[in-house]
């Protein structure tokens, strides 16, 4: 389980940790990176990309808000 009580502005997560925290699959996190919603801030000792926790939360929020879009039936 991911500890969300830490300083989210400095904590760095791997793809797997970010996916667990956002309750999405790791492929979704990779797609956020590809689409420019997430920026890699470094690499861990296994050369895996790391992301700031706050950026992961922002990407997750932006994705969920976009999914709730409604369109009017203007003719």
Q: Specify if 45 maps to a domain.
A: yes
Q: Specify if 73 maps to a domain.
A: no
Q: Specify if 3 maps to a domain.
A: no
pLDDT at residue number 19: 96
Residues 6 or more apart in contact with residue 10 via CB below 8 angstroms: 52
Number of domains in the chain: 1
Q: Specify if 5 maps to a domain.
A: no
Residue 44 has which token pair? Answer: 């861990």
**Any idea which residue has 């969920």 for tokens?**
64
Q: Mean pLDDT in each 10-residue stretch from start to end of the chain (75 residues)? A: 78 95 95 95 96 94 80 60
Structural domain including 23 reads 12-67
Q: Specify if 21 maps to a domain.
A: yes
Q: Specify if 7 maps to a domain.
A: no
pLDDT at residue number 60: 92
CATH of the domain at 16: 1.10.1660.10
């Amino acid at each position: 389980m991911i500890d969300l009580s830490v300083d989210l502005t400095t904590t760095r997560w791997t793809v797997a940790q970010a996916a667990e925290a956002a309750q999405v699959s790791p492929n979704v996190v990779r797609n956020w990176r590809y689409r420019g919603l997430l920026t890699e801030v470094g690499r861990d000792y296994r050369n895996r990309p790391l992301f700031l926790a706050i950026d992961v939360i922002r990407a997750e929020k932006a994705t969920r808000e976009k999914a709730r879009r409604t369109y009017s039936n203007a003719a």
